[in-house]
A and B are shown apart, each in its own frame.
Chain A
């Protein structure tokens, strides 16, 4: 059964929609800056979503606001703006921050005064992203929030595709959303994983990540179903695989065990060889370990001449949203037939053995891979194909 991508939408530090994202991929002059959405002792640059239309922002629900922004664009592009209730629609969304009650004001108030702030509590209890969408649109299919750290968004898309194949729904809303929050910011700083400048994925002198925020959403459905709606899509989600390293809580397996398995299985499912893959949109966080292992695995399994990039130099690491945002970027690459330069990369790393693209690059082949790695040893791979009309 073919699962097609009938719509997609995105918001991140590089742009508030598809058009702005594509425009800003070219000059790529948006610079990360110190966080402004809350007071912080940390001055490491981050990629915030700025100049957000006020009417689109729900106070205290930043991740949800980002999600609904991207979802609106995705539904419009899928031709699904109205009458959603008449379809069997499942919802699967990945996140990290939105599922935790990591509200410092709430906690301080409880500690000092023993008081529970109802507003904060309600925001949390009403903030489960998949359930929020289900309630807002009155949908009846399965609704699941995936919390696999940085593979959450990619796993949510993969999970939704499985639901469709299993007949649990005809259409699925899937992707990821995450906001910049003090907990991951301080957490990554404690791990010495944050760069003091724009991150440099796969660069010899890479010095850590920039935290980012945003949301990427795709609409999936069966090919038969989209035909019934008299719509069309030329993008197919043709491979999904996920495997764990079973190695360490925060570090990837030095042999890339789980990533290799996920890459191989996804290629098998998609029936593609390394030669048939146009490009890889890599996770590429610009941390020492991630890029080393990921680069080596891509070179070994796809080929040393593969065109690949990391978009973290444009968006920062958007955590649970990353897999969703990067799936949309991968789809854009296939549709527009070009990928932007891997921003931040300058110096070849012999240990990694392959280099990402250093300029806007035209692509011709019809398959592309998006890889995601996460704390906990999760490795997830999505393969999209462009089919000719």
Chain B
């Protein structure tokens, strides 16, 4: 089943919204050029939405702001927001709130913890805020997955649409950064000491540059006015590698088995890597898809991000495939095409 991306919202270390992402891509921003590797929530603040999130945590706010941008035209567009479904996907969820709750347990004891902290530490709190704030009454699901969280969410969205659970689906991917997780990543994987991300570097072990952000897509089963591209393929361990014009590889310094990336970069088609723009994020595929949408619609180019020397150039691609490999040489792929 073909799905259309009919709304796109995002915030990351580069800023908020497609304009700031386009600028970051055009300016070849990289992780070492940012002052902070956190999302600037003050700059992203939207008064109308903020007033409904006084108690919400950072994770929820990122999710809601990205959804706000993805559905900004909903009052004038021909889609029914009320009958839309929501799939929130994350690897680690609102872990800072979980640790905040543990702080309360340690400091005040089991009988004196905050019910607000508890209810916000539940993984589906952010999705619940999205439903409440945007008055969405369709199915709402949160999934927590380390491997391919974004592609799993898009695959589920397609099943929802195919089985008519709802008319449209908002897929929202969110990941937050925090001290405990940074320390854990550093111990497990090693964090780059100069914030420099060197993906597709087969000669040395990769180093991560943990960052954070949220990306939301409005997926519709029919083409509507705001549709900007179509998802022609989405799945795991199978992909029509010959028919795409360009690849975006999700290599982000978190070391996978490199067999897949070696194979794909030996391909004559251009392979780009954009993770230096947004950082090492488990849900980074969502940023890659967002950037693919911008390239397909001619908002930005990709030449500066090509990583394979043998590449033949394609000035304006009509089809881009975003691929992500994991530590077991499994991969997930999403192909996007112009309308």
Chain A residues closer than 8 Å to B300, beta-carbon distance: none
**24 A–B pairs (Cβ distance < 8 Å), ordered by A:** A41-B109, A100-B98, A121-B187, A128-B145, A142-B152, A143-B147, A145-B145, A146-B142, A147-B123, A147-B143, A159-B159, A183-B118, A186-B118, A187-B115, A187-B118, A187-B119, A241-B139, A243-B138, A244-B86, A244-B137, A244-B138, A249-B120, A249-B125, A249-B128
B118 contacts A121, CB within 8 Å?
Answer: no
Assess whether B159 is in contact with A168, with CB atoms less than 8 Å apart: yes
**Min CB–CB distance A311 → chain B (angstroms):** 23
Say yes or no: A155 contacts B145, CB within 8 Å.
no
* A246 CB within 8 Å of chain B: yes
Task: Please determine whether A107 and B162 come into contact, CB atoms closer than 8 angstroms.
Answer: no
Q: What residues on A are CB-neighbors of B131 within 8 Å?
A: 244-246, 376-377
> Within 8 Å CB of A146, what residues of B?
141-143
- The docked-state distance in angstroms from the alpha carbon of A166 to that of B158 is 9
Asked if A102 meets B102 with Cβ closer than 8 Å, knowing A125-B188, A145-B144, the reply is: yes
Produce 1/0 per residue, B155-190, CB < 8 A to A: 110111011010000000000000010011001100
Given A100-B121, A114-B183, A155-B141, the answer on whether A377 and B128 have CB atoms closer than 8 Å is: yes
| Min CB–CB distance A332 → chain B (angstroms) | 27
Determine the chain A residues whose CB is within 8 A of the CB of B120 once the complex forms. 249
How far in angstroms is the closest Cβ of chain A from B30? 27
Q: Are B122 and A246 in contact (CB under 8 A)?
A: no
CA distance A357 to B15 in the complex (A): 57
B98: chain A residues within 8 A (beta carbon): 100-102, 183
Residues A32-65 near B (CB distance < 8 A)? 40-42
Inter-subunit contact A128/B146 (CB<8 Å)? yes
A142–B330 alpha-carbon span in the complex (Å): 12
- A104-148 vs B, CB cutoff 8 Å, 1 = contact: the mask equals 100110110010101001000100101100000000101111111
| CB-CB under 8 A for A104 and B111, given A143-B147, A244-B137, A376-B125 | no
- Tell whether, in the assembled complex, residue A107 and residue B124 are in contact, meaning their CB atoms are under 8 Å apart: no
Distance of A107 Cα from B106 Cα, bound (Å): 10
Out of B110, B139, B160, which one reaches A243, CB within 8 Å?
A: B139
Closest to A378 in B: B140
> How distant is the Cα of A190 from the Cα of B110 in the complex, in angstroms?
8
**Distance in Å from the Cβ of A262 to the closest Cβ of chain B?**
9
Q: How would residues 95 to 131 of chain B score, 1 for a CB under 8 Å from any chain A CB and 0 otherwise?
A: 1001101110110011111110011111111011101
Decide if B203 is an interface residue (CB 8 Å cutoff). no
A258, B144: Cα distance in complex, Å: 23
* Cα–Cα, bound, A121→B183 (Å): 11
Residues of B within 8 A of A111 (CB): 103, 106
Contact A166–B159 (Cβ < 8 Å): yes
Nearest residue, chain A, Cβ from B152: A144
Pairwise interchain contact B141-A159, C-beta atoms closer than 8 A:
yes
Q: Which residue of A lies closest to B94 (CB)?
A: A100
A121-B184, A144-B143 given as contacts; is B124 within 8 A of A166 (CB)? no
Q: Shortest Cβ distance from B146 into chain A, in angstroms?
A: 5
Size bin of chain A's contact surface = 35 or more
Note all chain B residues with C-beta closer than 8 A to A190: 112-115, 118
CA distance A62 to B112 in the complex (A): 26
Residues of A within 8 A of B92 (CB): 101
Decide if B156 touches A144 in the complex (CB within 8 Å).
yes
Q: Chain B residues with Cβ under 8 A from A110's Cβ? A: 180, 183
Indicate which residue in B155, B184, B187 contacts A168 across the interface (CB closer than 8 Å).
Answer: B155
1/0 contact string of A243-276 vs chain B (CB within 8 Å): 1111111100000011001000000000000000
Contact of A140 among B95, B106, B237 (CB under 8 A): B237
Rounded to whole Å, the gap between the CB of B260 and the closest CB of chain A is 15
**Residue of B118, B121, B122 ringed by the most chain A CB atoms within 10 A:** B122
* Cα–Cα distance between A185 and B103 once the two chains are bound (Å): 15
* A100, B93: Cβ atoms closer than 8 Å: yes
Interface contact A108-B106, CB-CB below 8 Å: yes
Q: How far is B164's CA from A145's CA once the two chains are assembled, in angstroms? A: 22
CB atoms of B236 and A142 under 8 A apart: yes
Contacting pair A100 B123 (CB below 8 A): yes
**Does A186 lie within 8 Å of B146, measured CB to CB?**
no
User: CB distance B124 to A40 under 8 Å?
Assistant: no
Q: Determine whether the beta carbon of A375 is less than 8 Å from that of B122.
A: yes
Q: With both chains docked as a complex, state the minimum distance between the C-beta of A378 and any C-beta of chain B, in angstroms.
A: 6
Q: Does B239 contact A (CB under 8 A)?
A: no
CB of B136 within 8 Å of the partner chain: yes
Least CB separation from B326: chain A residue: A131
Instruction: Please tell me if A339 contacts chain B, counting CB pairs below 8 Å.
Output: no
Q: Chain A 183-207 against B: per-residue CB contact (8 Å), 1 yes, 0 no? A: 1111101110000000000000000
CB <8 Å contact, B142 and A148? yes
What chain B residues lie within 8 Å of A121 (beta carbons)?
184, 187-188
Distance between Cα atoms of A351 and B270 in the complex (Å): 66
CB distance from B197 to the nearest CB of A (A): 21
Residue pair B144, A99 in contact (C-beta under 8 Å): yes
Contact of A104 among B106, B136, B146 (CB under 8 A): B106
Cα(A189)–Cα(B112), bound, Å: 9
Find chain B residues with CB under 8 A from A165 CB: 159, 162-163
Shortest distance from the beta carbon of B60 to any chain A beta carbon, whole Å: 10
Smallest CB separation, A381 vs chain B (Å):
11
